[in-house]
């Protein structure tokens, strides 16, 4: 199992959520977060402010899924969340050791 953490623009949440649902993803966790990337949160570049960091509102989606779904889902998120402007976001993929559905005690991929 892997976890995809996708940080995207809030304006793209509905579209990405719909695409994931259409793909067949059922479980996800979505949070409102603040963040910055290379531009340190600047929308425009001003001289003399190189050292300040501005945090912009973003959406973080966390999805735990089977290894063989990762590439397709990453591709789907990239395709749906991209505008081509800076600040489109980033996707991180990491390994997940286990998952447990609390109601049934199902573990591993049966819990997803
Ligand atoms: N290295 C990182 N670690 C953790 N979170 C990050 C990292 N880079 C970006 N993020 C998160 O992703 C959001 C969007 O990043 P952003 O798309 O601006 O990345 P970027 O590297 O500056 O690329 P771009 O040049 O396209 O803007 C940030 O607000 C932050 O929440
Ligand atoms: Mg950026």
Torsion of CA 16, 19, 22, 28, to 10 degrees: -30
Say if 44 falls within a structural domain.
no
CA 84 to chain centre: 17
Q: Give the whole-angstrom CA distance, residue 86 versus residue 8.
A: 11
Say if 46 falls within a structural domain.
no
Confidence of residue 44 (pLDDT cuts 50, 70, 90): low
Q: Tell whether ligand 1 has an atom less than 6 A from the beta carbon of residue 36.
A: yes
Instruction: Indicate whether 40 pLDDT > 90.
Output: no
CATH number, domain at 88?
Answer: 3.30.70.120
Instruction: Indicate whether 41 pLDDT > 80.
Output: no
Domain tally, the chain: 1
- Give me ligand 2 centre to Cα 25, in Å: 28
Which atom of ligand 1 is nearest to 36's Cα? 29
Say if 70 falls within a structural domain.
yes
Instruction: Indicate whether 110 pLDDT > 80.
Output: yes
- Give me ligand 2 centre to Cα 36, in Å: 6
Instruction: Indicate whether 106 pLDDT > 90.
Output: yes
Q: Tell whether ligand 1 has an atom less than 6 A from the beta carbon of residue 28.
A: no
């Amino acid at each position: 199992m892997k976890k995809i953490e996708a940080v995207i623009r809030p304006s793209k949440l509905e579209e990405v959520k719909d695409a994931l649902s259409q793909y067949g993803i059922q479980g996800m966790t979505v949070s409102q977060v603040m963040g910055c990337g290379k531009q340190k949160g600047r929308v425009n570049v001003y001289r003399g402010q190189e050292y300040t960091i501005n945090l912009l509102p973003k959406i973080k989606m966390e999805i735990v899924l089977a290894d063989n779904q990762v590439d397709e889902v990453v591709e789907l998120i990239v395709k749906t969340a991209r505008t081509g402007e800076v600040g489109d976001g980033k996707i991180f993929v990491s390994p997940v050791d286990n998952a447990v559905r609390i109601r049934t005690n199902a573990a591993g991929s049966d819990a997803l």
